[in-house]
Amino acid sequence: MLRVRHEMHFRRESQHDTLEYALQREVAEGIGVAPGPGLMSVEVFMRGYYIHARTLNRLLQRAGQQFRESIEPPRSSGSSGTRVGSAFILYDDALAVDPSVAALAGAEQVFEAFTLAAEHEVGPDLRLRGILERSADLLRPSDADSPVLAAYFRRILRTHRVAETLHEMNDTDVLPRYIPEFGALVAFFQHNVYHYYTADEHTLIAIANAENLRDKQGILREVFRNLPRKDVLYAAVLLHDIAKPRGVADHEITGVSISAAILSRLGMHDAVDDVGFLVRWHLVMEQTAFRRNIHDPDTLKEFAARFGRPELLDYLYVLTYADLSALNSGVWTEWKAAMLQELYQGAAEVLRRNLTGAEIDTFHREKTDEAAESVVEALRGTISAERVRRHIAGVGNASYLALFTEEEIGEHILKGEEAEPVSALFARAAAHTEITVIARDAPFALSKFCAVLSANDADIFDANVFTRDDGLIIDRFRVTDSGTKQGLEQRRCEKIAGDLRLVMEGTLDIGKLFQEHDKKWKRRPKAPANPMVKHDVRFEENPHYTIIDVYAPDSVGFLYRVTETMSELGLDIYFAKIATRVDGIVDAFYTLDRKGNRITDPAVREAIRERILSTIRRLAGERLGRTT
């Protein structure tokens, strides 16, 4: 630890004692850490760092406990506990061990202590905790197959104190010794700013977040409360990343067989299939909600088809929340919560009704028709039913009715009938601003909108693109201030509205506007660029569109440059899903060519791929150059 601290001081030429993300790679390089199997040198270094830090932390805790024991008065003779188990005493606030016991007899008594504490919803007292910390060596490799220990572990998973108990078992080295595969997660670290925690800590926080839902409000709480078996959920959360140390790529696939072997040892044979399903698909719900059009019946059909029983969707919904909310404080947002809830509710209804294939299309069409008539009725006093129906039919996209309120749709109709070249509507949400741009279709319109927003320090994290059959554009962007990560101030909104008007009138050159912003951006302190962020362009089949997934480092004006490139390639974008993951972009674009056809020719796809990748590489090169 001293060696690391010295290197930090050398690198920063000052007494710099915070090992932040940007410094980790430099220190690893400076002290000569070599890469490991499937790991970058910085990941090998950080794992070693966390192991040493964990050792020091435990030593400090033990010293603190010894000090507290030396000054705390003994329990009064009047505080009579209840004798439980083989050698333990239960008090109102803690589980203690018989004063005559100096050490536990074996692994079974260790597990008995944790199980009793969990079932009575108390923690071990200071003396018992110290004994447990010295008891990890009692576990032998053969104990992994012990039916007695497995029975204790299953009891723990059925309590209301699962996360805290597993945390205590991990801190005392009991959990990694009992489940060696989990031991590989201890101090396992992925070097990106998306993951704040080591894999073991992330897993245990995820279990706590799931368990704490019983005290929350909302649909997640109700889904959690109605799960038929909480132990299946906790087992799935415990094992969802179990294969990461063997390779992060495809860990959800390789984790299935590993989790099956662990569950068999635990005697949870009846949970193997369900937990295996959840491990295999623990990423699919966030990928669908954040990267696909969840109002598209084809998306719903593909997603719902994975679930043999409705309760599997319930488990996956809670698991997805637990996983995402345990990554870092910026990952779980109001917007993501809404997207996941909407996907869950749509799929749950399909599964409850046991709909398949054409039945889902019919169900979706009926819901869309109902929503359209609801808009007609709501606007009947101000806009004629004929005009409203014509507008909705012209947009021809069920997502439109799902994303906008009746009042907003009415405003779109009225704005679309005006002679203005562009209109911008602003609405402030809890932590972001929604900007709806209404204009007549024009070359590079979307890229111009994106450029104006970027030039005004508005970071786009969601975009929905609609074009009415007469050429009216209705594009909705969700944005945050690039500095505060909150909604935009009123004067910023006014500046954006003015710039949009000038750009669409042709009196303000978008290239010049962006260059001025670029100069301003260069003078600001930047977050470190991560050269390991994925660069890729992939195509996915869809019955109506060609979906282009773009993976790239985040950079100023990314959407502007990429949508501009797509327009130059003759692509029309009908829907976009923007998913910025702290230091990386994962964007999906639903596209057709200028004739309204899907792009299916492999040669054309490859040309598109190379052109977009060229744009990504140029932007990444500019960003890396700015941060050196």
* CA 39/CA 42 separation, integer angstroms: 8
Q: Is 543 helix (H, G, I), strand (E, B) or coil?
A: coil
Do 576 and 590 meet the contact criterion of CB atoms below 8 Å apart?
yes
Buried b or exposed e, range 481-504, using 16+ CB within 10 angstroms: beeeeebbeeebbebbbebbbbbb
Mean per-residue pLDDT pooled into runs of 10, the chain (628 residues) = 95 91 90 87 91 89 80 66 94 92 94 98 90 92 96 98 97 95 90 76 96 93 97 98 89 96 97 98 94 89 94 98 87 85 95 90 91 95 94 91 94 92 91 93 88 90 87 92 89 95 90 73 52 80 91 82 93 82 76 92 96 88 50
Instruction: Please give the pLDDT value at position 78.
Output: 52
- H or E segment at 381? none
* CA 373/CA 409 separation, integer angstroms: 13
Instruction: Please give the pLDDT value at position 10.
Output: 94
Q: Is 544 helix (H, G, I), strand (E, B) or coil?
A: coil
Is the whole-model pTM more than 0.85?
Answer: yes
Do 505 and 443 meet the contact criterion of CB atoms below 8 Å apart?
no
DSSP 10-70: HHHTS------HHHHHHHHHHTTPPPBTTB-HHHHHHHHHHHHHHHHHHHHHHHHHHHHHH
* CA 542/CA 300 separation, integer angstroms: 12
Give the per-residue SS3 of 250-281.
CHHHHHHHHHHHHHHHCCCHHHHHHHHHHHHC
Instruction: Please give the pLDDT value at position 193.
Output: 60
The arrangement of strands across the sheet holding 433-440 comes to 422-428, 433-440, 472-481, 458-467, 571-577, 584-593, 546-553, 536-540
**Parallel, antiparallel, or unpaired: how do β-strands 433-440 and 458-467 relate?**
unpaired
Instruction: Please give the pLDDT value at position 194.
Output: 62
Do 369 and 305 meet the contact criterion of CB atoms below 8 Å apart?
no
Burial class, 182, CB count within 10 angstroms (exposed 0-12 / middle 13-18 / buried 19+):
buried
* CA 371/CA 73 separation, integer angstroms: 68
* CA 409/CA 404 separation, integer angstroms: 6
Instruction: Report the candidate in 359, 416, 157, 185 with the shortest Cα–Cα distance to residue 275.
Output: 157
Burial class, 250, CB count within 10 angstroms (exposed 0-12 / middle 13-18 / buried 19+):
exposed
Instruction: Please give the pLDDT value at position 525.
Output: 47
Q: Residues 360-365: contacts with CB within 8 Å, 24+ apart?
A: 360/297, 360/300, 360/301, 360/304, 361/297, 364/297, 364/300, 364/398
Strands (E), 87-215: 88-90, 94-97, 123-124
Do 425 and 435 meet the contact criterion of CB atoms below 8 Å apart?
yes
Strands (E), 294-452: 422-428, 433-440
Give the per-residue SS3 of 71-118.
HCCCCCCCCCCEEECCCEEECCCEEEECCCCCCCCCHHHHHHHHHHHH
